[in-house]
Amino acid sequence: MEKFDAKKTAAAAVKWIQDWFEENGKGCNAVIGISGGKDSSVVAGLCVKALGKDRVIGVTMPNGIQPDIEDSIKLINHLGIKRYDINIGTTFNALMEEVEAKLGHAASDQTRINMAPRIRMTALYAVSQSNNGRVANTCNLSEDWVGYSTRYGDAAGDFSPLGGLTVAEVIAVGKEIGLPVDLVEKTPSDGLCGKTDEDNLGFTYAVLDRYIRTGICEDPATKALIDRKHELNLFKLKPIPHFEP
Query: In this predicted model, what pLDDT tens digit does every residue of 49-72 receive, in sequence order?
Result: 999 999 999 999 999 998 889 999
- What is each CA distance from 244 to 34, 237, 238, in whole angstroms? 39, 20, 16
pTM: predicted TM-score of the whole model, two decimal places: 0.94
For the chain, which residues score pLDDT lower than 70? 1, 190-194
As a whole number of angstroms, the distance between CA 78 and CA 219 comes to: 41
CA distance 197 to 189: 5
The pLDDT of residue 187 is 82
pLDDT of residue 192: 56
The pLDDT tens digits for 219-228 are 999 999 999 9
According to the model, what pLDDT value does residue 197 have? Answer: 83
Hey, what domains does the chain have and what are their CATH numbers?
6-187 (3.40.50.620)
What is the pLDDT, as a whole number, of residue 17?
A: 98
pLDDT given at position 188: 73
pLDDT confidence of residue 245: 96
* Residue 168, φ and ψ in degrees, nearest 5: -60, -40
